[in-house]
Structure 1
Amino acid sequence: MKKQSILFLLTLIIGTVFTSCTKDISGPVDMNYLEGKWNFNKSTASSSGFTIPYSTDYLKNEDGCNKDYVEFITGGIVRFGDYKPNCVFEEKIGTWSQNGNSIIINVVGSNFNGTFDVASLSANELILKIDGTYGGKSGTLNLYFAK
């Protein structure tokens, strides 16, 4: 009986160890969390399993200015706030929609367009992931936002 208990416990431990614990978004994104104003926080890039942060702040934020932002509004409207050199502010309005765990953003006249995979979404953090080819090498760009 003692052998069976030990064998059962060992099987349970091994099963737990080999069960994946990675974050996997399998259902649709909860739009209640998405809507609102998100400030660009930081960005990272990864290629061949290595993650390289650009800096502690998002690459495109101008020093001394407020943070660039994206605001998702009910009805598929998006606002993209961009601070240029010397803190000159420019806001562009476009559209957004959801397709599964992806967000399609179209802001005419800006570089914030395309399909973004939602890697993580909570009440105060949003991480968008873009797979592509950068400088001739395939990789992933991750954009971090805070509410």
Structure 2
Amino acid sequence: MTKDLEELEKEFIMSEDMEHDEIRELIGLVLGICKIDKKGYVVIRRTGLTMQQRIMVVLTARYLANKLQQELERESPIDETCTTMEIANMLKEKDTVVRVRLKELKDDKKVLSPKRGVFRIAPYEIKEFLKELIGQENSKKGGN
């Protein structure tokens, strides 16, 4: 009985961390959208994304890179958090524009802010977000 409840808890309650297999699956999804360098600079290869989607891609890539490097026990993994200025630089946008979009994402609980001006993706949003992006891409390809 207790074992059943523990299994149910594991399935039902979202943890901050992800399982190894889930990280692999999500990185497989994000590979077609962006790449990240060893310093955490994210290059988005996909065009036609909204500003909110681009911000989510950056934060998703940073989070997944961090988790992957932790799994591999790297000495200094890429930081999963990002400042407003870092995101603005990666997206080549004004920081005021990025700040407004980050506030919207934070209000929607898609992005978390551990401290002022610093953001990270809400882990429970990643899978749905990536599937939505891939669905958009597939519908564009099918519609042409």
Fold match, TM over 0.5?
Answer: no
Question: How high is the TM-score relative to the length of structure 2?
Answer: 0.30
Please state which structure has a larger fraction of its residues in helix. Answer: 2
Please state which structure has a larger fraction of its residues in strand. Answer: 1
Question: How high is the TM-score relative to the length of structure 1?
Answer: 0.30
